[in-house]
Amino acid sequence: MKKQEKFKRSRIARRLGLHFTAQLFTTWLLVLVIILISLFTIMYYIGNEQLKSDLPSDLLDSLSVETTIEGDSVQLPSFWPDQLKKKGYWLQIINESGQQVYALNVPEGMPEQYSAADLLRISDTRRLNEYQITTLYEEILGSRNLYLLGRKDSDGTRLEEWYELYSKNGQVPTSVAETLSDKAESIGASLVVLDETGLIVQNFGLPSDKRTYGALDLIKLRQQPAKSKFEVSYYYDPSSKYTWLLERPRESEEPTNQPIFRTFLIISVIIGIAILLLSLGLAVWHGYRYGGPLLLFMRGFERMGRGEYEQVFTDKERRKIFGKNNRFRARYKLYHEVIAGFSDMADKLAFARSERLRLEQSREEWMTGISHDLRTPLTTIQGYGHLLESGQFSWNEDELREVGGAIREKSTYMLELLQDFSLTFELKNHTPGEKLEPLELNEFVRRAVLRYVNDVTLQNVAFDFEESATSLRILANPKWFQRLLDNLISNAVKHNPPGTEIVLSLKREREFAFITVRDNGVGMDEETQSRLFDRYYRGTNTDEGIDGVGLGMSIAYAVVAAHKGTIKVESNIGEGTIIKLSFPELTSPTCDTKQ
């Protein structure tokens, strides 16, 4: 039984642990999914911002992340071709053999095979014919590739042509200044000539809003072209150390004002609010799911504290707990062992209360009975004592013998009554099972019956004994076993009229020894049978003049239980009574030879 309870507790603990682990895992998995989705959203927006940028290196970084290359097979997301075409870019992907494996918007005349020297020159000069080239080397899982991102540099080519036609020692002569100014203005550009310090020495076409360029201004224009109001092409003459700049206003001037940071901030705030709302929703859900049953149990405990064991859960609460077909609802299914145990505890407490009330009633009945049983002999003894003490009467020998006999009889009865009390408390604190020894039932029961057969005071009762065909041996305490038989036989004698026949019989069934005490007396009603072994109960259909306080049969029941036996009663009014006892045989595997 203990193993089953331990296994049940372990199973409940394991299920609760798995339930809450799954709850926590699901919660954090959901949070993780939200974070991942948020990160992908941020990357998506950052990628979109990079697409808006004119910086080729940013475009290449985003493009390479989203491009899948397996051997000579290249897969590019569908939106990239349109984006690159819209910005005027073309793309080539070159493998480690110098062979083109992917081409997008590539102009006619571009080579499909490059040598190492070609690629090195392109990487250093960042130009190929009239195109500006941005390169990106990538090596993933042993596969090496080079990205070539090109865009036609019309202004750069035009600037080189103007320098060859109109420059003299790095500057523009006065004779061609008006011609060059008209050409620059016709294309909506400004031609600026800088000396080696960055000072503007000449300006043609549209006026420039700057007088000098700092050391990092040109680098900024090259590295962050999207933040400039102008598209700038340049040509540097190393011999004269003059730099020509062709500045063209951008077609659409849209200041970015750090869009990536703003987007990141907005998305972060949205994610934070979403996680906060999710956490709040989960907290409310957990509180409702697990707080509801706890409140239910608290109300149940309050009712039990008031002694309302019969209805720990109200009908309304039971409808919350149980659905159709008396099955647990999902919300309470986790606690079904707890609820079952709770209800079982309430039932046991209700039974214990009714049992206590029944015992109190029995105790009151017993107190009434014992008061009567003690008062009657004490009154007799007290009366004879007063008579003897008064000296008013002369007593002859026969009268004195009669008085002495009455006093002895009443004293003996009171002594037996006190012995029953003593036996009751002894059985409560020291069971007969403490000192057991092998006992042969045929001989032992036969001698017990003979004691009553030879009792001259029991002339109106017939006794008989039916022994077993084979020897029956059990482990028993002879003293207590004798008291057991005496109580059963005495009870049959006291509560039946003269002429009753009492039969004790023995037999073996399977591995048990059976003792039957049978009489053909007045029998018992159902209430008497149900309470026959209660400690202070005296039958309702017995003669009021019969001695006893209802301890004999309770003592018999305790002795049988201490010997690991069973006792049952069968009776009907007017049909007599049969009391059956069973004990494990000494040869039975279930019976120990030593205790």
* pLDDT above 90 (res 35): no
Checking if the pLDDT of 370 tops 80, the result is no
Which of these, 531, 527, 505, 516, lies nearest to 573 by C-alpha position? Answer: 527
417 pLDDT band (50/70/90 cuts)?
confident
CA distance 195 to 193: 7
Phi then psi dihedrals of residue 346, to 5 deg:
-65, -40
Of 29-33, 446-450, 549-553, the poorest mean pLDDT is in 549-553
Q: What pLDDT score was predicted for residue 439? A: 92
**Among 413, 429, 445, where does a domain finish?**
429
Residue 103 CB coordination number (10 Å): 14
What's at 340, amino acid-wise? A
pLDDT at residue 546 tops 60: no
Residue 319 has pLDDT above 50, yes or no: yes
The answer to whether residues 529 and 457 touch, using CB atoms and an 8 Å cutoff, is no
- pTM of the entire structure? 0.39
Mean of pLDDT values over 10-30: 65
pLDDT at 542 (0 to 100): 41
pLDDT over threshold 80, residue 514: yes
Selection from 400-414, 429-443, 473-487 with the highest mean pLDDT: 473-487
Is 273 within a domain? no
Of 14-18, 158-162, 383-387, 449-453, the one with minimum mean pLDDT is 14-18
423 and 440: one domain?
A: no
Alpha carbon 56 to its chain centroid, in Å, reads 55
Burial class (CB in 10 A: 0-12, 13-18, 19+), 22: exposed
Q: What share of the chain is helix, strand, coil (3-state, %, to 5)?
A: 55, 20, 25
For residues 224 and 449, give the distance between their C-alpha atoms in angstroms, rounded to a whole number: 121
CA pair distance 589, 533, nearest whole angstrom: 29
- Residues 230/238, Cβ–Cβ less than 8 Å: no
Q: What is the pLDDT of residue 516?
A: 95
One-letter amino acid for residue 408 of the chain: R
Indicate which CATH number applies to the domain containing 110: 3.30.450
pLDDT value at 466 more than 90: yes
Kindly report which listed range (325-329, 544-548, 584-588) carries the lowest average pLDDT score: 544-548
Q: Kindly give, in sequence order, each residue whose CB lies less than 8 Å from that of residue 363, ignoring residues fewer than 6 positions away.
A: 536
The better pLDDT of the pair 335, 433 is held by: 335
Measure the CA–CA gap between 25 and 458, rounded to whole angstroms. Answer: 83
User: Could you give phi then psi for residue 214, rounded to 5 degrees?
Assistant: -75, 175
User: What is the predicted pLDDT for the residue at 43?
Assistant: 65
Listed in sequence order, the residues at least 6 apart from 102 whose beta carbon sits closer than 8 Å to its beta carbon are 74, 76, 91, 92, 93
| Whether residue 439 sits in one domain with residue 402 | no
Burial zone of 117 (CB within 10 Å; 0-12 exposed, 13-18 middle, 19+ buried): exposed
* Residue-level pLDDT at 549: 47
Task: Express each pLDDT in 111-134 by its tens digit.
Answer: 889 998 888 888 887 888 778 888
pLDDT recorded at residue 583: 94
Within-domain flag for 306: no
Do residues 414 and 493 share a domain?
no
pLDDT at residue 464 in the model: 93
Q: Angle at CA 318, nearest 5°, toward 316 and 319?
A: 65
Cβ–Cβ under 8 Å, residues 108 and 160: no
pLDDT over 90 (residue 438): yes
Predicted pLDDT of residue 223: 59
Q: Are 177 and 198 members of one domain? A: yes
Instruction: Identify whether 6 is part of a domain.
Output: no
Query: Residues 313, 303: contact at Cβ < 8 Å?
Result: no
Q: How confident is the model at residue 210 (pLDDT cuts 50, 70, 90)?
A: low
Considering the domain boundaries, does residue 11 fall inside one?
no
Average pLDDT over the chain, rounded to whole?
A: 78
Choose from 100-109, 153-162, 284-293, 410-419 the range with maximum mean pLDDT. Answer: 100-109
Mean pLDDT of 474-492: 88
Range 201-207 contact pairs with CB under 8 angstroms and sequence separation of 24 or more: 201/171, 201/242, 202/171, 202/172, 202/177, 204/172, 204/177, 204/180, 205/180, 205/181, 206/247, 206/249
The β-bridge relationship of strands 501-509 and 566-571 is: unpaired
Report the C-alpha gap between 317 and 13 in whole angstroms: 25
Mean pLDDT, rounded, for 11-15? 60
Q: What percent of the chain has pLDDT over 90?
A: 11
Q: Are strands 501-509 and 462-466 parallel, antiparallel or unpaired?
A: parallel
Q: For residue 221, is pLDDT > 50?
A: yes
Residue 530 lies in a domain: yes
Please name the residue ranges forming H helices in 391-475: 397-429, 441-453
Q: Which domain holds residue 532?
A: 432-595
Report the pLDDT value the prediction gives residue 541, as an integer from 0 to 100. Answer: 44
Task: Check if the beta carbon of residue 89 is closer than 8 Å to that of residue 150.
Answer: yes
pLDDT at 151: 83
336-390 and 259-305 helices, crossing angle to 10° = 20
Residue 477 phi, psi (nearest 5) = -95, 110
Q: Which amino acid is at 372?
A: H
Identify whether residues 537 and 415 lie together within a single domain: no
CA distance 425 to 418: 11
- Using left for φ > 0, alpha for ψ between -120 and 50, and beta otherwise, residue 523 falls in left
Place 177 in a pLDDT band, splitting at 50, 70 and 90: confident
Other beta carbons less than 10 A from residue 334's beta carbon: 18
- For 429-434, what is the mean pLDDT? 58
Report whether 46 contacts 263 (CB < 8 A).
Answer: yes
Rounded to whole angstroms, how far apart are CA atoms 350 and 162? 110
CA 34 vs CA 10, 38, 41: distances in Å: 36, 6, 10
**Among residues 369, 414, 420, which one has the least CA distance to residue 545?**
369
- For residues 221 and 97, state if they share a domain: no
Whether residues 419 and 405 share a domain: the answer is yes
Q: Number of folded domains in the chain? A: 4
Tell me if 493 sits within 8 A of 461, measured CB to CB.
yes
Average pLDDT over residues 342-366: 79
176 and 101 in a common domain: no
Same domain, 192 and 230: yes
The rounded distance, in Å, linking the Cα atoms of 553 and 487 is 7
Q: Measured between alpha carbons, how far is 551 from 421 in angstroms, rounded to an integer?
A: 8
Q: Quickly state the pLDDT bin for 582 (edges 50, 70, 90).
A: very high
Q: Give pLDDT tens digits for 43-69.
A: 666 656 555 555 677 777 777 877 888
152 — phi, psi (to 5°)?
A: -65, 130
Which of 234, 256, 278 represents a domain boundary (last residue)? 256
* Average pLDDT estimate for 216-239: 71
Same-domain pairing of 380 and 469: no
Mean pLDDT of the 314-332 span = 76
Say yes or no to pLDDT of 536 above 70.
Answer: no
Residue 9 lies in a domain: no
CATH classification of the domain holding 519? 3.30.565.10
CA–CA distance from 107 to each of 49, 88, 111, 222, 573 (Å)? 27, 11, 10, 24, 121
State whether 455 and 511 are in the same domain: yes
> Is residue 28 in a domain?
no
Identify the pLDDT of residue 484.
87
Stretch 221-241: mean pLDDT = 73
Q: Is the pLDDT of residue 23 over 80?
A: no
Give the domain-ending residue among 152, 170, 202: 152
Are both 391 and 424 inside the same structural domain?
Answer: yes
CB distance 92 to 99 below 8 Å: no
CATH code at position 373: 1.10.287
pLDDT over 80 at 145, yes or no: yes
Judge whether 418 lies within some domain: yes
